[in-house]
Structure 1
């Protein structure tokens, strides 16, 4: 089993009781927040190391680091092999701040996109734009339908049913 499969089985599987799973996620979110606070302190710095080295650097275990890497993977400038990585896989954590903020909003992780560090990374205006973009991306908009007796959208002045709607 890969590290990611082990993490997902532990985090999403049914081998833990509800209380154990709640504790796992509560602990995970605290560790995650701490790692992000450190990473966001200087987003221009590129972190490198094996999964094991990164786990040690951020004071967590390899499984929790695997979950973190799975979560941040879509917000990095370089892909990381989350599906196949082991503890000796070299990881490059080069963050795309806008993607990261957008993905945090998408995950509804207010405790992360609300971190003070964002004040120094993205302007309040840009954060609002990204927040709005993400929220609108999930909104389904129905296309306005032309009624039979409405004026034809081609501009002929005729009713739709006698013009372009004739063949529809």
Structure 2
């Protein structure tokens, strides 16, 4: 097992399909070792970052999420709360494409730790937003009550909506829209009127367009969307990443979009390999004034 773990420690440009499959096949033996990797990073974050080609943390998180290993839940919460940590350096685009899904996959019926992530203003706004996203996923898959979560999101928008965090405010509204939060429409509208929302992420027109659709259609579309599903297959999740040199077509994965019309899933980058690309939250190069992910990056 130790030799197998060493073989996935670094990214050497080739996807370790065989090795990951062996870990999956030997799940019970692998789990304690994968948890130990996460603990090692929590205890010695600088040492992990000093080896920029390391990738075993990402493999460990995805595998443990696939295994529904609830022992990862408190560890992952602790990791996300690392003081002054730059999560992009650890996770790359997993910050926005995977953190919420991993949290939801290993959730262990105690919502308080996720709420603390969401409400911690010292954390990156996108990490806080992934806490919101985790709750949305849990609602869509029947683990949490929709009405309670919408009421919680509405309370955040009413009580903790600060002009200092327009990105986070937009993510609250995005999450309300994901769950067809008609009940919170007035609060969302006031946030726009007060100019508290990053409109490059979501505009009031986007919200209103969703709320004109039947609720069951919106919720079912999101349940089918890759971004709202639990981690089920680590190999399929990661094998097509740009940091692996593979000559094959990317699998079709749905992207999280308001009207569910697009089917392009932006490639995550791996922090172990520097990949030059337009950031999903950078201004779009077409000059529209919108963020890339809301424009040509859809």
TM-score by length of 1: 0.31
Q: Which has the larger radius of gyration?
A: 1
